[in-house]
Amino acid sequence: MTVGRSIGEALLIHGMGDEKEREQRVAEMLERVGLERQHALRYPHEFSSGQRQRIGIARALTVNPNLIIADEPVSALDVSIQAQILNLMLDLREEFGLAYLFIAHDLSVIRQVSHQVAVMYLGKIVELAEKGEIFENTLHPYTEALLSAIPHIGQKRKRILLQGSVPSPLNPPAGCRFHTRCHRVLPICSQEEPPLKDVGNDHLVACHLY
C-alpha cells in the first residue's frame, strides 16, 4: 500500500469525501507534517524512521480527531529526531486543539509534552497529578524510583535500585502490587490494596504511606 492510500484509508472507511477530495486531504496532511505531496506515491520502506513517524501522525490527523492515543511515539528514534517529532506534535496540538494520551517510559519526554501525568505499575495507576506535582512533589515509592533513574548533568541524586523482578500481571501479588520491590514497604502493603486517593491539590496516590 502506498503512503497516500494508507493515509487516506480512514477517510475511505468513514465515507468522507469523494476520491478527489480524499487525495487533496492526504496531500494537505503530508505537507502539514513536513513532507511533500508527491510522497503519497511512495511506499513506507522508502522513508526514514522519522519520516515514517510523520506519516503515522498524518494518518491519525486525517479525520480531524479530538483525541490521539500515542503509544511510545518516539521510543525508536534517535534523540535529534525525537525532538523534531515532539515539537511537531506540540505544534499540531495547538493548531488543531488536540488532546494526546501519550504513553511512554521516558520521563524526560513525558515532562516535555504532558500537562497531567499518571504513573502505572502492573496495570494500576499508582500516582496521578499535574506535571509539576509529579516531578516536584513525588509521593509514591515507584515514582520516586523512576525519577531517580533520570540522569542529571552536574547533579548527584541518590539512585533507588529496585530489587527483584517485575511480577506477572496475570498473577499479581496480593495487596499493593508494588510491595515486593518497594523500598518503603509496610506490613499492611502485602495484605491490603491501597485505594487511589486525593491527598490534596488534585494529587492522587495509591499508597498506605498516605
Instruction: Report the C-alpha gap between 65 and 101 in whole angstroms.
Output: 12
Residue-wise pLDDT tens digits, 7-21 = 999 999 999 999 999
Beta bridge partners of 124: 121
Give the Cα separation of 28 and 86 in Å (integer). 20
Q: Stretch 181-193: mean pLDDT, rounded? A: 96
- pTM comes to 0.86
Question: Per the structure block, which three cell numbers stand in for 118?
Answer: 499518571
Read off the pLDDT of residues 9-65 as tens digits, 9 standing for 90 and up. Answer: 999 999 999 999 999 999 999 999 999 999 999 999 999 999 999 999 999 999 999
Per-residue pLDDT at 156? 65
pLDDT digit string, tens, across residues 82-108: 999 999 999 999 999 999 999 999 888
In this predicted structure, what is the pLDDT of residue 151?
76
Q: For residue 108, what pLDDT is reported?
A: 87
Q: 185: Cβ–Cβ under 8 A, 6 or more apart, which residues?
A: 179
Choose between 202 and 154: higher pLDDT.
202
> 153-171, pLDDT tens digit by residue?
666 668 898 988 999 999 9
Q: Flag whether pLDDT at 144 surpasses 80.
A: yes
As a whole number of angstroms, the distance between CA 113 and CA 126 comes to 20
The whole-number pLDDT of residue 153 equals 66
Q: How far is CA 175 from CA 61, 99, 163, 184, 209, in A?
A: 42, 34, 18, 14, 14
Kindly provide the residue ranges of all beta strands, DSSP E only, lying in the chain, ordered along the sequence: 67-71, 99-103, 116-121, 124-130, 197-198, 204-205
Residue 126 has pLDDT above 90, yes or no: yes
What are the extents of the domains in the chain? 1-63, 65-113, 115-210
Do the beta carbons of residue 169 and residue 123 sit within 8 Å? yes
Residue 16 burial (C-beta neighbours within 10 Å; 0-12, 13-18, 19+): middle
**How does pLDDT run across 66-80, given as a tens digit for each residue?**
999 999 999 889 988
Q: What's the confidence (pLDDT) of residue 76?
A: 84
Give the whole-angstrom CA distance, residue 3 versus residue 148: 41
